[in-house]
Structure 1
Amino acid sequence: MATATFPGAEFQQGRPVADPSRPSGQASARSCARPRPARAPVPDVTPSEMFPRAAAAGIQSGQGRFGDQEGADVLEVVALSALTTFLMSVGNGAAGEMGKQLLLSTGTLVRRTTGRRTPLPSGPEERAALAGLMHARLEHDPRLAGEWALLLRTHGQPGTPVLARGSGLPPAPRHFTNRQKTLRRLAREATRPADGRPRVALLFGPPGIGTTATALRLGAEQHARFPDGQFYVDLRDTAADGGPGPGGVLQRLLRQMVTDPGPLPPTDAGREELYRRVTADRRALVVVDHATSLAQVRGLVPSTDGVFLLVVVSGQPFALEAERVEVEPLSDRYAVRMLRELAGREHVAHAGAQLPRLLGQCGGNAFALRAAAGQLRTGQPALPPPASQDGDRHPVREAVRHATGRLRPPTARLCRLAALGAWPGLDTHLAAAVADVPPDEAAGMLAEAVDAQVLESLPDDRHRFRPEVRRYLADTAGPELGVAECSAAVARGLDAVLNRALHAAHAALPESWRTEPAPSHGTGYGDESEGLRALVAEAGNTVRAVSLAEEYGHVSTALRLARTLWPLQLKAGHWDDVLPALRLAARCAGTHRPGTRTAGALHFQLAHCLDQLGRGQDAERAARAALDSERAAGHLRGEASAVELLGLLRLHQWDYPAAYERFTEAKSLYEQIAPGQEGAEDLPRALALAERHRGRALRGMGRTEESQRSLQHAVDRFEEQGERYNTARALTDLAETLHDAGRDTEALARISEAERLLDPAAVPHRQYLTALRSRCGSAE
């Protein structure tokens, strides 16, 4: 989880959470610390006293140049390649509070090194150019070289990440029939001479044919070939239409692949770079199941010959450069063998004359055969006539038609109505709402549907449909039940998801004006952590509900649902998950609620999310849209918050003068809120945060004395309000500013104060302070 610094946080408690973001590639500060003397204002000083940071790093100065071996060692630390890599790492890792903190510190040191305002590099060419400029300066400036050496040593250059063994692939099905030819083709691709070509296979076939089972069987048979692990990502459990984007796929995969990954790089480029490093010189199997587009997997194509990427597509293949392997229907001979293994020889024999027609309707489709085996085990092999007489067979649909025909009518009705929502996680509560039945009845219906293989069980007592099964049930819901009943079921489901999300969001951020009060009905949550856990558990359904509500014309519901996602992006860092819903909701608000507070709030959420994902230009457009809407609505608090967000976006781009102007404007707007007006109760925190941000911008501009005054003022205000965590954040800023000014004894005192205030759960913040302590020259 992560707590980011942004406007709107001023109206919440600002407490640390269990897993806030930390800087990428952070090294142990203890191993890097070297004591150094504090600066003394004396007229005659030695070179080491003139350049205390250079002395701390072991640099000797002579006429402004390096001397001897220790200076050469520092130059090696700040080599051109090291600077370039560090700039890339900082930019790619700039998400969450401490990622932004390191980004700001790096930008401040860049300005001091170049002697002018330097914008954040936006690509490899700009990074290389900036690194080259700084390297040329550092060769002649021991003091700054020492600063950079300490920064790189304490916050680390990206090392070799540790590849976890992973949990492996899910178990292969016990009864697996006649795919040996397919498996041999896949094995050949996995083991052929590399010849400079990546090992990639695209396994495809119609829905239900057995593509997933074939991939899992390959993993089981070839386990010894991949000693560094097997990694499996199933993309069909996403709430977004078409599945997650490239960054979301990388995020899911890296969570498995990297030992103790912590916060992952927020940008697609950063995640792909980490994927390349973690798989370098490794022998591993990567399976991406239910991929739907080339974009999702293009960045996963291995650059090392020890990794085999297997992409599984249910349906037609897309244009991936890979060995294409089709899973074909089973012949009647092997279809009968599968039926005998699944249902038993006696039940297959009992089918008698109906067996050929059963095989014909199954069409060699593994899912259909499994469903037929379940039917045979009941001892009732009679088959209804096929739905299609034109020879255009749909084995999965036929199997589902037969299965729903055997369900009790109330259960079949629940399945059809639930399929309309395409809910990622269907639990008893949601199923009961959709079908308008008591929860205990819904629980029994879900169990019956699982037994009939219409539904699949998931952890936490949730369920889902296979994609083709859901499509058939949704397509037949209208003709079977009528449009009115279908629409009412969708509305009930949306209301149930909204009610749960409103309760959870309010519990997670009880003092935030960006979340609605909890509804008067429904089940509440005990505290902030419980509310946040509930939001995380319901994230898939909530994101799905936003698009479903928009599709069915429930505009207000869609917008309210999207606003409940705020704690997820603020406290839990679920930026990839919520982004599709926020994009849709912001567009919907712009169309149906232009110039309103709701539009302003949703554009604000979208801007914050885009900023955390490193999409600065898109974030600025969304923030300006938020500002326009809040101004049009006459919402002074929202206008000030949007202006403050624009300032933070400038701050994160190292445009410190523009950021300072925005923070000053935001402060002025906040001060226009009179006692008794809306938002007046939030002013103390808002003004303290605005002052903190002004101090950070002043630091970036090199105006260290003014920065110290602003930050000390912020510290005092937070202390008056009892804001322990926000006080610690401001103390961290103040310590860095004092360090910039060479007042390290005072900086160390502020670091100690911040450490005393921090909750033990704020591990990344504590790690950052340890690194800062080392930079100030004292390791404990």
Structure 2
Amino acid sequence: MHNVVSGAGGNVVQVNSLTGDVNIMSGAGKAVPKQLPASPWPFVNRRKELADLDARLIARGTDAAWLGVVSGLGGVGKTATVLRWANAVASQFPDGQLYVDYAALRTESGTAVGDALADCLRGLGVQDDHIPGSSSGRLGLFRTKIAGRRCLIVLDDVTEPAQVLPFLPNAPGSAVVVTSNDRLVDLQLNGADPIMLQPLRPDDGVRMLQELCGEQRVLAERETARELVRLCAGLPIALRVASARLVASPRLRIGDLVSELADESRRLHGFARRGERLVSAVFDNVYRNLPGEAAMVYRRLGCVPCLDITWDVAEIAAMGVGGVDDAVQRLIEANLLNEVEGDRLRFHDLVRLHARECAARDEPAEVEASIVRAVAGHYLPRAVFADLATMNPNRLRIADPTALTEGLTDPFNGSSVKAAKWQVRERANLLHVLRAVADRGWHETAWQLAEALVPLYLNQRYLADWVESSELGAVAARLASNPAAEARLRSLVSRAYTDLGELTRAKEELHTAKELAHESGNLVLVASVWEFTGRYLDKVNPAGAVDAYRQAIEVNTAAKEWRGVALVTYFLGRALHASGDHAGALPLLTEAHETLTGMGDQRMAARALLSLGVARAKAGETEAARDALGAAADVLEQRGAVIYEAEARQALAGVLERTGDLDGARAQLRRVLEIHEKGGADVTDLVARLARLSPGAP
């Protein structure tokens, strides 16, 4: 892999799947991500297209940004070509490289542009706590982070212009390159250069065969090789698979393979388009010549409802087939399966489709269902273990974690860090599995998995995933006649809708959740829905939030859920403060702080103390406010809650400034600046405030 970043200025942003950030700090202290995957090897031909990309970039010059749209058939090599080019020109954009796979961010309702922005922000050095919850906030911060930086932005597997427009930089010398099956002609209104990637011409295809199979072997049957290119529809993916067959069978003549493929093509008359028929004929030919175990593993892996397949899932899907490792290796050698990230397996979309067709044709009807059930049985308990590791084990859950994990070993050993990394890495797979079990009507598994995924979305804010997951789970819970589970999922997802600005939908979800919670008879759940209602109303109607929190306290008290009472008392105090009732807020925040301290919850107690300090400052109790804010900041720093620490210190700086202690105010703000710079937040206003407080400032 050659990710070279050098030169005088610039930044490469590629949008595909951010599976692991590699950040370098530039001289100016900016994170410089280097995330371009290596271009496929061997990569042959496409010289004309690569030169065309170079020429168009040069023609645009350094005074404006450039937008190119590389389109073509699936399997024609768009991603491979763009990666080859992007790696070659990376030195012209030395500020960094980002790569996000839109296929991994696609949901039933569309593609999650806001989640793609969040992934880009992570690559640009922004920590999760500093990533805004709303799409508009993410877009604003993204534009701030790339302002003045020359960027190469490659958006892979785009399906509509709306997935491109937010990423268009305003920095001269930047470039955006899009890959898509569609020509996206609307982007030409934004000055896009269309680049159509055609199937390989016969001579170019022959050169590719020479690289893959050996020059002499191909030249000995040159005209027949040209026919092989035609039978592969000029698509590199098909040529790679056909070449692997030739490499695996040194005595097989190209002419013999061509004859076989011609027969296969005639047999597959049911395909709607000639190109599909030809490509499927190539895959079918290689499949029919696989060893028995490899062929069985191939079609069974095609039944796995995951974007990437881990090795342990491959073992599960094989369903007792011996020698799975050898079979998988044979599939890799046949170019039917790719290794990604070193320890995961992935099909090309066309190959996956073929593998599933083979399973439908050659496996008993119940095999696919058995594989999906086994894969779901693998992921569900792990998701539950991750939930328990990353969230308070005593928080409200409708599913029984003990029953779902009985007899199993926690793969994370209770480590929240390990669990969170697993959640992020398996994010796309988890949603794919949830879709699969929901489609099959396995309602219990669907809602249980949806509930177990909520901590991932609460902590990482994949909002589009959250919306789809919760809707699938809520519908499944309703079909399973479980009003408590449906209420829980609908109340939780109100947070996602609120962040997305869909306030009417958030209100509807909470209304439905409230009715279902009462129907369930679960008082703790009823109180929780009232709490979420208050959190929603905090943003739209602070006075209404006060009433909702009082209802939550009343129900929690009836249920003797004392931690719930303490937490909602804290939220109520904040709501009263926000509505201007500072005198009413003070005793409630004091009570919440004391109760949470007595329960040993230092983090939440410190947050209550922070709010108490802010309220005391507003009430004019300067000395008490200073003491509360200072103590809260110290505890939050000790607990690693740096976002809340920064909030406390910023409030404390305001108190100190008003009392004339400018040295103290500057010290607090310098710590806030340190936190925000490390987290990648926008610090423009903070720097200006520090400058204003500096000695000698006008």
Amino acid at match of 2:70: L
> 1:709 deviation in Å?
0.5
Q: What is the rounded CA distance, in whole Å, between the counterparts of 1:581 and 1:430 in structure 2?
A: 21
With 640-649 and 758-767 compared, the bigger mean Cα shift is at 758-767
Q: Distance in 1 between matches of 2:241 and 2:591?
A: 70
User: Is the deviation greater in 369-378 or in 389-398?
Assistant: 389-398
Contact between 2:610 and 2:633, CA under 8 Å: does it hold in 1?
no
Question: 1:548 matched to which residue of 2?
Answer: 436
Alignment correspondent of 2:531? 644
Q: Which residue in 1 is equivalent to 2:112?
A: 245
**1:739 to 1:403, Cα distance in 2 relative to 1, 3 A:** farther
2:246 to 376, 389, 404: 376
Among 468, 471, 485, which residue is 1:598 paired with?
Answer: 485
Query: Which letter does structure 2 place at the counterpart of 1:446?
Result: V
The alignment partner of 2:307 has SS state of coil
Task: Give the distance between the partners of 2:580 and 2:82, measured in 1 at CA.
Answer: 58
**Structure 1 residues 403-418: aligned runs within 5 Å:** 403-418=286-301
Q: 2:448 aligns with which of 537, 560, 567?
A: 560
Aligned length: 609
Query: Cα offset for 1:537?
Result: 3.4
Aligned match of 1:578 in 448, 461, 466?
Answer: 466
1:453 lines up with 2:358 in the alignment: no
Determine the structure 1 residue equivalent to 2:383.
501
Q: Does 1:714 align with 2:562?
A: no
Q: Distance in 2 between matches of 1:198 and 1:755?
A: 44
Matching residue of 1:348: 218
Contact kept? 1:505, 1:535, Cα under 8 Å: no
Q: Deviations over 1:538-589 (max 9, x none)?
A: 3222211111111122122111110111221234444444332123323443
Q: State the identity %.
A: 25
Instruction: Calculate the TM-score normalised by the size of structure 1.
Output: 0.73
> Which structure exhibits the higher relative contact order, with contacts defined as CA atoms closer than 8 Å and separated by 6 or more residues?
1
Partner of 1:295: 162
Residue of structure 1 aligned with 2:583, choices 685, 702, 705: 705
1:138 is aligned to none
| Aligned position for 1:748 | 626
Secondary structure of residue in 2 paired with 1:385: helix
- Answer yes or no: is the 8 Å Cα contact 1:240–1:544 preserved in 2: no
Structure 1 gaps, min length 5: 1-160, 674-679
Amino acid at match of 1:740: K
Match of 1:189 among 51, 56, 62: 56
Contact kept, 8 Å, 2:151 with 2:173, in 1: the verdict is yes
Which residue of structure 1 aligns with residue 606 of structure 2?
728
8 Å contact from structure 1 (residues 595, 628) kept in 2: no
1:468 is displaced (CA, Å) by 1.2
1:328 match: 198
Q: Is the 8 A contact 2:75 2:235 kept in 1?
A: yes
1:724, CA displacement in angstroms? 0.8
Structure-1 residue corresponding to 2:44: 177
Partner residue of 1:618?
A: 505
**2:350 aligned to which of 468, 487, 502:** 468
Letter in 2 for 1:738: R
Pair 1:203 & 2:70 matched: yes
- Mapped to 1, the partners of 2:94 and 2:450 lie a distance apart of 43
CA displacement at 1:349 relative to structure 2: 4.6
Pairing 1:738–2:622 present: no
Would you say the 8 A contact 1:351–1:376 is kept in 2? no
1:524 counterpart residue number: 410
Contact 2:105/2:428, CA 8 A, preserved across alignment: yes
Cα distance, 1:574–1:734 mapped onto 2, change above 3 Å: same
1:366 aligns with 236
Structure 1's 323 and 238: CA in aligned 2 closer, same or farther, altered over 3 A?
A: same
Name the SS of the counterpart of 1:201 in structure 2: strand
Distance 1:430 1:238, change over 3 A: farther
- Secondary structure of the equivalent of 1:287? strand
Alignment partner of 1:693: what SS? helix
Map 1:1-150 to 2 at 5 A.
none
The change in CA–CA distance for 1:429 and 1:258 in structure 2 (over 3 A counts) is: closer
CA apart distance, 1:340: 1.4
Q: Does 1:236 align with 2:103?
A: yes
State the match for 1:627 in structure 2: 514
Would the aligned equivalents of 2:447 and 2:472 in 1 still touch at CA under 8 Å?
no
Shift of 1:500: 2.4
SS at match of 2:98: strand
| Local SS of the residue matching 2:401 | coil
What letter is aligned with 2:546? Y
Q: Deviations over 1:241-294 (max 9, x none)?
A: 587322122222333245668522222222222333333343221001111222
Letter in 2 for 1:467: D
* CA positional deviation for 1:441: 3.8
Q: Does 1:436 align with 2:319?
A: yes
- Secondary structure, in 3 states, of the residue corresponding to 1:550? helix
Deviation at 1:239, TM superposition (A): 6.5
What is the match of residue 310 of structure 2?
427
Of 540-549 and 193-202, the range deviating more from structure 2? 193-202
Whether the 8 Å contact between 1:207 and 1:314 is mirrored in structure 2 is yes
Q: Deviations over 1:517-547 (max 9, x none)?
A: 2321333242141444433333222211111
What residue identity is the alignment partner of 2:429?
N
The residue type equivalent to 1:647 in the other structure is G
The whole-number CA distance in structure 1 between the counterparts of 2:378 and 2:91 is 48
- Over 3 Å counting, the alpha-carbon distance change for 1:162 and 1:355 in structure 2 is same
**Residue 388 of structure 1: which of 242, 247, 265 is its match?**
265
- Alignment RMSD, CA only? 2.8
Deviation, structure 1 residue 189:
3.3
Q: Structure 1 residues 563 and 406, CA, compared in 2 at 3 Å: closer, same or farther?
A: same
Q: Distance in 2 between matches of 1:278 and 1:535?
A: 26
Cα–Cα, structure 1 residues 163 and 367, in superposed 2: closer, same or farther, change >3 Å? farther
Normalised to the residue count of structure 2, the TM-score between the two structures is 0.81
